[in-house]
Chain A
Amino acid sequence: MKKSSIIVVTLLAVALIVSPSVWAKQKLIKIGINAPLTGDIPKVGEGTKYAAQMWLEDIKAAGGLEVGGKKYPVELVIEDNESKAESAVKANTKMITEDEVLAIVGPQASKQAVPAGDVANNYKTPMISPWSTNPDTTKNRPYVFRGCFLDPFQGPVLANFITKEFGFSKAAVLYDVASDYPKGLAEFFKQAWEKIHGPGSVVAFESFTTKDADFSSQLTKIIRSGAQVLFVPQYYNEVALIVQQAHELGWNKPIVGSDSWGSAETVKLCGKDCYGLFFSTHYAAAGATGATKAFIDRYKKKYGYVPDDVAALTWDSLRIVQQAIQSCGKITGNIEKDRLCVRDALAKIKEFDGITGKMTFTEDGDPIKCAVIVKISDKGEYEFYKSVCP
């Protein structure tokens, strides 16, 4: 055992001394993927994996990842976090300490990304979560980044969009007071709206409680308040009920939603009532152009379905990591040094042009990026309408 290892080390040393070019080729860039391949949200894990494999294909086709004029082979280390927090922590620890990955992409959901981000930060390994919107994921963690916008961004984005698109000045909000996401977003929207149009310009700020089915009294109030637009930051099951009831009570003005509308179930449950409505999200498949369309077409051809926002964000995150590695200039082989270099490069990225929009990172590692406004078409498809910046 000992003898053989000595031989190996000697041989390696000889090889290194004799030919520097061999030495360079042997250096491998490993990227960790922390994805929920099993558990509650396997579809998210699948999208992550597929997007990563597509990215790797491109790298392989180019003969490796070019850094400072040299091409390095790339390997993906894909670990399953079972959509559990503790497994995500375990996966990150293993990838960092055993596999010696240069950077990690994932985990997707905040439930796993928040604890896993702590591990990455402690081990000083750059990590980028494509999909987690919770501020805690990146807060006070210089090594942790994300690929999507946060809810404090989304509120102003929507307020700006409605103001510019329709020229309205009076808005109403209907939200679930017992759920964190709608409640937070409703408040961010109200703040942003009143900043633009002055206090009192949110003429109705009505709420309900999870599991309510009848919103008629709230909607009657909203309709009588003289609001020109209704903002509903709800999940798809409530969206279907609210939109239909609003129409039945005589509301014929726009209803605008948030990224929680993005599920394929929204239109299934809501039907024709939702046609023509707008919501903000990370990316839109139908009506996409340019690089986004190319990505969608390729993904669809390869895997048989239109990629969702997770896949698109994963793709972008991998390309951000790629760009950071490339702008490092060289791979030293000293993993700590290289990781630090990649982190600094990530933090310095300005104007990254991804398929989910252009982005720059803030000090917290959150991207400043534009949201996509999606219009639900007459066929019930999500159509890219425009992108709006905060």
Chain B
Amino acid sequence: MGFFLQNLINALQWGSFYALIALGYSMVYGVLMLFNFAHGDIFMVGAYIGFGIASGLLALTALGGIVLPSWLILVLTIIISMFLTSFVGMIVERVGYRPLRDAPRASAAITGLMIGIILETGNLALLGARRVRFPTLIQSTTYDIGGVFVTNKKIMIVVVSIALMFALHQFVRKSKWGMAMRAMAFDYVVVPLLGVPINTIARLTFAIGSALAAAAGILFGVAYPVLDPYMGIVFGWKAFVAAILGGRGSILGATLAGFLLGFIEIFVAMIFPSTLRDFIAYSIILLILTFRPHGFFGEPYSARLRL
């Protein structure tokens, strides 16, 4: 039982990263009907921006200019990085996707891959191939609860992730902008005619998705403190799988599927040899998609075909 609980907690942490990143994929798809394949790399950019800000704030504290407790540095890092990374997302949208909005979908997908490579190699050119360590902002304390080990970091990661997801849900459901986003997701053709500024909404969607990816990047840095320029690739793919599994465009679906993916990966490794982890985990997901090709909360294409 302790073994099971331990893995459950491990899975909860792992799943929250997938969920946060999957949300970005899902929102962009929901509103603009395109897959932003650069999203995994925006996660990487967010982690690096967070690294820069955290290091900067720590250096400032060390110099004695202003004394900030490290939890405050973490909060500031998350907020500032989310803000800055949202601009990266907006630039990607403006430069990469807007010119292609009416081009075939394949062009947009290829553009996404290309932007991803630019972001990776740009980082490589800027910082070199050396890996960097994300600064330790919270000292990890391990609590032993009847043989199950939980750290304060794990709790924080899961709580912050769920809070962000809840905030997003509220934003989309309750705010005016959220309503506009939902309207655009519902009908791409008619909604602009009703006075909804589609470019603004597209930019907003990218900004929110990127900000969530940045939050995921920093939380990732807190949990797995070694960053490298290619960290977003495989992670991005897997989060993309989660977005598909949840149902394209569904926020609830992406969240649940992200956690589910984390659970499947961890529990497969718990039962089977760890060498076969991804093989078995993704075979299971393939099987699920065979029976539910639109994911858990997705709708068939026909209902929202453009034009």
Contact = CB atoms under 8 A, between A and B. Distances in A.
Interface of A: 177, 206-209, 211, 213-214, 216-218, 220-221, 224, 237, 240-241, 244-245, 247-250, 265, 268-269, 271
Given A247-B142, A248-B142, A217 B270 contact: yes
A292 B17 CA distance: 48
Given A217-B266, A268-B133, A248 B140 contact: yes
A207 B275 contact: yes
Contacts, number: 85
19 contacts: A208-B274, A211-B230, A213-B220, A213-B224, A214-B14, A214-B224, A217-B10, A218-B269, A220-B6, A220-B7, A240-B133, A241-B224, A248-B142, A248-B149, A249-B10, A249-B149, A250-B144, A269-B131, A269-B226
A209 B151 contact: no
B89 to A, nearest CB: 23
Given A207-B274, A216-B14, A244 B225 contact: yes
Interface string B263-307: 001110110011101100000000000000000000000000000
Interface string B136-155: 10001010100001010110
Contacts of B224: 213-214, 241, 245
B136 A209 contact: no
Given A216-B10, A216-B14, A224 B3 contact: yes
Contacts of A244: 140, 225
Contacts of A221: 269-270, 274
A146 B6 CA distance: 47
Contacts of B113: none
Contacts of A208: 274, 277
Contacts of A224: 3
A342 B234 CA distance: 53
B140 to A, nearest CB: 6
Given A217-B267, A249-B10, 19 more contacts: A207-B274, A208-B277, A209-B277, A213-B226, A214-B10, A214-B14, A216-B7, A216-B10, A217-B7, A217-B269, A221-B269, A221-B274, A237-B131, A240-B226, A248-B140, A248-B154, A268-B133, A269-B133, A269-B225
Contacts of A265: 130-131
A62 B69 CA distance: 61
B120 interface: no
A249 B149 CA distance: 5
Main secondary structure of the interface of A (DSSP, over half): helix
Instruction: List the 10 shortest-distance A-B pairs measured between CB atoms, nearest first.
Output: A216-B10, A217-B269, A250-B149, A213-B224, A217-B266, A269-B133, A207-B275, A248-B151, A218-B274, A206-B274
B41 interface: no
A249 B6 contact: yes
A95 B198 CA distance: 70
B231 interface: yes
B93 interface: no
A220 B3 contact: yes
B302 to A, nearest CB: 38
A214 B275 CA distance: 14
Given A221-B274, A248-B153, A271 B7 contact: no
